[in-house]
Structure 1
Amino acid sequence: MKIKKYFKKIYMVLMILVISITTGISCSKKEKSEGTIKIATKPMTEQFILSEMIGLLIEENTDLKVEITKGIGGGTSNIQPAMEKGEFDLYPEYTGTGWSFVLKEKEIPDDEVLLKELQKKYKEKYNFKWVGLYGFNNTFGLVIRKDLAEKYDIKTYSDLAKYAPKLTFGAEYDFYERDDGYDALCETYGLRFKDTKDIDIGLKYDAINSKEIDVMNMFTTDGQLSVSDVVVLDDDKHFYNTYYCSTVVREETLEKYHGLEKVLIKMDNIIDESEMAKLNYEVEGKNRDEKEVAKEFLQEKGLIE
């Protein structure tokens, strides 16, 4: 009888220990899952896709929840102050925008120096951190019809200057009015086109594909680049600023959730301009859901199951 009582006591102690450990694990998970990371985006397709990538990585690798607010009007001008107030935890931002628009700095340093300076100044002024670079540069650029690029062996803006008098240039109205638009570009490279056309931003690719124009301005991650018969020219005098994309995060958020930065750095150098353009086209051209597009891409890269 004493032996039975002895084993019964041991059994009861073991059960209490198991219940305590299980309860502790449950509470621990519950505490972690109570955290919600609030992500903001600008009103751009690629930002929608990127925010979904970030959200999927966070939810796959942590117990945190994610809340994404897409397409905030005014972009950086409204997201930045909201970040300062703590209304958002992070958002995708571009190096050129952070340097020129947020920090109001004039001269943009070389790419190697730029990120270090952004880190330093954002830390001092806002207590924010730039975590990695995704790999693509979404800046302004020029494209030329592929047949013309091959005919005249045009690869750079300087090459283009030699044949511009034979070609027609097209752009939206704003490009002709910008300080860093048509006039400044032409002055820098000595461009003198045969003719220019003011074309609606949504019709430019139709115009160049139908040979209505020969050369046009664009963004280097435009979705239609991946399905148009054009060649992206090299800005050999570096007229345009670089706009590499990264995740800007509140330091308070990184301190609160210690594993978050390790997850965010998984976005470092995973996507180039042509890949981003293809993803944009999947959403814009094929009307696919941006979360599904983001998920497929991360799966292909082996970053989520």
Structure 2
Amino acid sequence: MIESLQMMSNRAYILASKLSETRGIPQRYAEIIKKHFNITYMEEFLRNEEEFRNKIQVLFVWEYCPTVDEKLLKSLPLLKAVVNCGVGVDHLDLPLIFSFGVKVTNTPHVVDAATADIGMALMLASARNILEGHRIATKIDTKIYPIKWNGVEVTGATLGIIGMGRIGYKVAQRARGFDMKILYHNRNRRVEEEERLVGARYCAKIDSLLQESDFVMLVVNLTPQTHKLIGERELCLMKSTATLVNISRGAVIDQDALVQALQKGYIRAAALDVTDPEPLPRDHPLLHLPNITLTPHIGTATDQTNINMLERMIENALAATRGLPVPDEVLPS
């Protein structure tokens, strides 16, 4: 018992939002964290700030919580790292955090497969009208199935991938199994061997990709350069039979322009795992269009991926508290 208490006293303290299955650290994950750290939750911290302010060394940001603002940073003089789950850090004020001499980390690589999977799932669900098919099959008054409820072919179609990083490349690998023709647009062209392995053709300009693709999938980080990357002009360049799939961030699309494009038939459909904001207001027109498929930002929502992210967060936090090189440090741009 004494040894156990001594081990606990030697562990660094982390601050997390709360113990919660929805907007905090789930209990089963908290038990894993406790093997390495003492956890303080925000409510307890706010009640006893003087007790904890000189103990907390790491902020665990899980599902965008807690909010890391100037007031919180000033209250944590020993803070060494803000450890974020997932890849995107656009919800963090990086210049502000860096100004306090605090490191930021994310969890790249471990989310790649699950996010690529959701991209394929959305594309297939939209192409084959899965949601509408489910509605017809389960309606209480369904007597017969409609003779004609046609979707569009995925096999052999052209997929344009905007953002051919790790996740985009995994999407291409999966699309290769559907004999899809693959186009991609990226800041940097991949080496010829990587292109050959997935049968991908590089498009130096985004316009040609938009014009040729049956499906356009967005797999980019949200940056000032990609904010509203897809707007009215880009949507009008797409085929009227094309589908837009977004597994990156909602703000990469001009949503007002997307509503118009879907209503007026500029494109066939959209399939989105992300919106801006999340969730959308309940009266938002995107929620009520027949040619849209929406999921609630579940790209990384598998048990295994969540465990992998948590373990990587712990690795980053341990390195930061021990003064070691941090494996997934996000550097100032």
- The higher-RCO structure (CA 8 Å, 6+ apart) is 1
TM-score by length of 2: 0.29
Q: Which structure: greater helix fraction?
A: 1
TM-score by length of 1: 0.30
